[in-house]
Structure 1
Amino acid sequence: MKHLFQTVTLTFLIAGLTFYSCKKENSCNGCQTNTTIQNPNKPPIAVAGPDQTTNLPVNSILLNGSASSDPDGRIASWQWAKISGPPSFNIVNANSSQTQATNLAEGLYHFELTVTDSLGLFDKDTTIITVNKLYTNEIIFNDQVWQCWWGCWIDIPNLYSHLPSGASFRVFIKRDNSNTWEEAIPVSQVGYGYWVENDGHLIVYGDELGNDTPDIKIVY
């Protein structure tokens, strides 16, 4: 009788464990789960602004990174740094989207902008600043005459005979009705422009032509 009781007890114990195990394994059948899928953070986009040129004695320029953006958040920090160029420079506020670069010297500068978003992702962009030398010498060709044929231009021959060998230069024009010298830009399509032909002829042209006799100034 004792053995029978032990056998029955053991049988019920095994059955109970089996039932509990099955219930535990099947307890989540048919359960609903809520899964939240989060979009990954996207990095910001740094825009250091267009390349710029200044001519000494103007030795400062605006660094403008305000076109930078973050597609899914906000920009938390800005950082300007010079990565190459002459040793003379100063960034007034390196942690601002816009700031002045001052005390620039003749040469080519590369300024890098780093923008960082609120979750630590960042992007970089570079702008190039060209600082031209201070020109102290000038030659003025007075009362030049427009030549017109499919457009109008002023022709100054033998340009290089007036300049030291290898000298860089800039070209300006002053109209009869003005006291202001306006700079002509090499091969410009807007305003006044110029080019130098292979035989040394300086050709100056513009989009506001007339019957006057303007002065041409070469500074070098």
Structure 2
Amino acid sequence: MKAILHSCVIVILMCTTAIAGCDKDDDDAANPSNSAPNNPPVAKAGEDKSACETNFTFIELDGTGSTDPDRNITSYRWSFISGPPTYTLTNANVATAKVENLTTGTYVFELVVTDAGGLSSSDRVEVKVNSVNPQEYDLDISFTSLYNYTNDYDDGWGGNWDLTYAVATGSFSLGNYTVSITESANEIDTEYDSFTYIEILFPNGYFRGESTIKFKKMIQENGGPVKGTFNLYQLSCDRIEFIGIPADLPPLKVTGTLNKATKKINLRIVGKAIY
């Protein structure tokens, strides 16, 4: 009889605990303040930026890195904090805004993100605009590179070319550089109509242009001396493009050799550029 009574007490206690738990859940539903607390969002206005002053300069302000632990950001607001009074801010109420019509100076913009619970967070980004005063630059680089020649290359867009490609790295007074050469030629072996593109990338810009050198013709004629020009048509300052500025400069001179047996080119590019 004692064992039976002991079992009954345990059952009653378990039932009481379960009922108390249910009452607590009902209280949480009736009183949202008893639920998990709302966490504030974290605004991220992106990395500081720099640009060169031109009449078409624009900077993208990127707040897409902002987060909310509750995944509940409801608004973005960009605003001007300090800097020159000349600017135009658009798309200020979305994550990615655009600033244009900038002038020389340092701007500061602020991003405020707000969540569904009314909590907010802010972050600022600095935009530095440098005055553009292109100067002539004496370019003189020499490099050796393996080249790759592909007969009847399929470009994936319905075109077929004989493609020659080479890339090399080095350093000059503007920093480390990477030079790439690409020639797209007619796929018929006896024709040499081609477009040869040269690009020199360095830390804060690039030189781009077209070359008169026909690498396919040289390869089919077993290599030899290289002689041609490199006509600049684009340059960059802090990732902002300038098209047409180099037009008055004489073409850069390109000399060197192409060795078909080793598949190597030795080139030197010399002349006036603008930076």
Q: TM-score range by the shorter chain?
A: 0.5 to 0.7
CA distance in 2, matches of 1:124, 1:63: 14
State whether residues 70 and 117 of structure 1, in contact with CA within 8 Å, keep that contact through their aligned partners in structure 2.
Answer: yes
CA distance in 1, matches of 2:68, 2:268: 54
State whether residues 45 and 69 of structure 1, in contact with CA within 8 Å, keep that contact through their aligned partners in structure 2.
Answer: yes
State whether residues 48 and 126 of structure 1, in contact with CA within 8 Å, keep that contact through their aligned partners in structure 2.
Answer: yes
Max Rg structure = 1
Specify the alignment match of 1:68 in structure 2: 66
The correspondence of residues 122-133 of structure 1 with structure 2, limited to 5 A, is 122-133=120-131
Aligned match for 1:102, one of 95, 100, 110: 100
Q: CA deviation at 1:173?
A: 5.1
Which portions of structure 1, spanning 4 or more consecutive aligned residues, are displaced by more than 6 angstroms? none
CA distance in 1, matches of 2:237, 2:170: 14
CA distance in 2, matches of 1:155, 1:90: 36
Q: 1:91 to 1:176 in 2, by over 3 A?
A: closer
Q: CA deviation at 1:134?
A: 2.2
The correspondence of residues 1-220 of structure 1 with structure 2, limited to 5 A, is 32=20, 33-34=23-24, 35-36=27-28, 37-57=34-54, 58-135=56-133, 137-141=134-138, 144=140, 146=142, 152-154=170-172, 177=211, 178-180=230-232, 182=235, 210-219=266-275
Q: CA deviation at 1:155?
A: 6.5
Task: List runs of 5+ in structure 1 lacking aligned partners.
Answer: 1-28, 157-169, 186-208
Q: 1:124 to 1:154 in 2, by over 3 A?
A: closer
CA distance in 2, matches of 1:155, 1:77: 46
State whether residues 44 and 75 of structure 1, in contact with CA within 8 Å, keep that contact through their aligned partners in structure 2.
Answer: yes
Question: Percent identity between the aligned chains?
Answer: 28
State whether residues 56 and 132 of structure 1, in contact with CA within 8 Å, keep that contact through their aligned partners in structure 2.
Answer: yes
CA distance in 2, matches of 1:125, 1:171: 29
Supply the AA of the counterpart residue of 1:88: T
CA distance in 2, matches of 1:171, 1:73: 39
State whether residues 143 and 266 of structure 2, in contact with CA within 8 Å, keep that contact through their aligned partners in structure 1.
Answer: no
Give the match's secondary structure for 1:39: coil
Q: Number of matched residues? A: 151
CA distance in 2, matches of 1:89, 1:68: 24
- Deviations along 1:150-176, one digit per CA (max 9) or x if unpaired, are x854569xxxxxxxxxxxxx8865688
State whether residues 172 and 218 of structure 1, in contact with CA within 8 Å, keep that contact through their aligned partners in structure 2.
Answer: no
State whether residues 172 and 216 of structure 1, in contact with CA within 8 Å, keep that contact through their aligned partners in structure 2.
Answer: no
Give the match's secondary structure for 1:213: strand
Q: CA deviation at 1:46?
A: 0.9
Task: List runs of 5+ in structure 2 lacking aligned partners.
Answer: 1-15, 29-33, 145-168, 175-203, 212-229, 239-264
Kindly indicate which of the two structures has a greater share of residues assigned to strand.
Answer: 2
Supply the AA of the counterpart residue of 1:60: F
